[in-house]
A and B are shown apart, each in its own frame.
Chain A
């Protein structure tokens, strides 16, 4: 699997269920305009392959402002981390090292 093949969230209810259903979760909030978001894509593909027990999903902030609002996304990219059915943290910016650390700590 790779970044292109992960689920794209579009529905708020689906998003809420997803949090409850996953022990380890990473949501990538991005926009198609956003260069730093694109820079993260190859890194995300590596992380998806390195951490098969973590569920990765993505959310286009332009298409789904309601989900972005619920997660209080203020800049892009933002990675929201979920653990045991709850949202526990947020990493703002295109920083692969910080993201991997966040995933390891899940």
Chain B
């Protein structure tokens, strides 16, 4: 039977910061980074972004993947046991907690005295009519992953969303596309001023405000059209695009603990403000899985540190 003193579930900045702190405190943490857990590569949402320019200490900027590779290396350096398997089931009803990994659900569970949940969040889909047909045939979950495929080269593409990630994806896609439309539901962006300025300056980006997508259309094989509507005038139009990318917000990855711990109405894990404490003692939450508001690499890392310190205090009180 395998027992871990403290288990971290996740692979982003919150998970690795917690691991670095716990490993340096000689708590021998085990971190399950997952194999495409929640549909995202280990490293989390940062692996789907391009340059990180707002993480302090990296004035030259670096890619999201590179930042995560560095964090992973730092966790491993201090002795974190990193396992590339996805935790698929957790039982918080008794101590020690029990957990199972994907494809081993019938096996004997792993036990652990404390868990830090840092599973993050993943991009939402719209489930438009036609989306099922053209998913991965023009509709993509990840601009950075798929941008280079031939069906997007020198073609018009669309990004839906009004935040920083929509702007960033659009800017990245101009490397390949003939032009990129950003469809914004409201009459203004939610994105930061610096991103808005970049979008304004980019001649290959066209912003359509007050615009929603109604249907994804194509030739049966590949996407080639988007039915759109202006929400002010209610006029509908066809927009010729060969690619569609969503940047419409995120859902927290809480499936493995559903019903076992208190959540906010929005589905995020409820924590005591200013801490990582949840409704279950010994079960801590850090990063985007408990934060619908800030969702930054740096705030996530900070909350990972908080969770490590909370877990350490909890474990030493148990001894």
Contact = CB atoms under 8 A, between A and B. Distances in A.
Interface of A: 31, 33-39, 42, 61-62, 65, 68-69, 73-76, 92-97
Contacts of A73: 149-150
Contacts of B149: 61, 68, 73-76
Interface string B34-54: 011000111100011010000
Contacts of A35: 40-43, 47-48, 65, 142, 145
A62 B150 CA distance: 9
Contacts of A68: 148-150
Contacts of B146: 34, 74-76
Nearest to B151: A74
Cβ-closest 10 pairs across A and B = A35-B41, A35-B47, A69-B150, A75-B136, A34-B145, A62-B148, A61-B148, A39-B41, A31-B148, A36-B41
Most B C-beta atoms less than 10 A away, residue of A33, A42, A69: A33
A39 B44 CA distance: 12
A36 B148 contact: no
Interface of B: 35-36, 40-43, 47-48, 50, 63, 65, 84, 103, 136-138, 140, 142, 144-151, 153, 222
A36 B145 contact: yes
B145 A74 contact: no
Nearest to A73: B149
A65 B144 contact: no
A37 B145 contact: yes
Nearest to A36: B41
A93 B145 CA distance: 11
A89 B91 CA distance: 40
Contacts of B153: 65
Contacts of B137: 74-75
Contacts of B222: 74
A34 B144 contact: yes
Contact of A33 (B136, B144, B150): B144
B210 to A, nearest CB: 30
Contacts of B142: 34-36
10 contacts: A33-B50, A33-B145, A35-B42, A35-B43, A68-B148, A74-B137, A75-B145, A76-B146, A76-B148, A76-B149
Nearest to A31: B148
Contacts of B48: 35
B35 A39 contact: yes
Given A35-B145, A68-B149, 11 more contacts: A31-B145, A33-B50, A36-B40, A39-B41, A62-B148, A65-B153, A74-B137, A75-B137, A75-B146, A94-B35, A95-B36
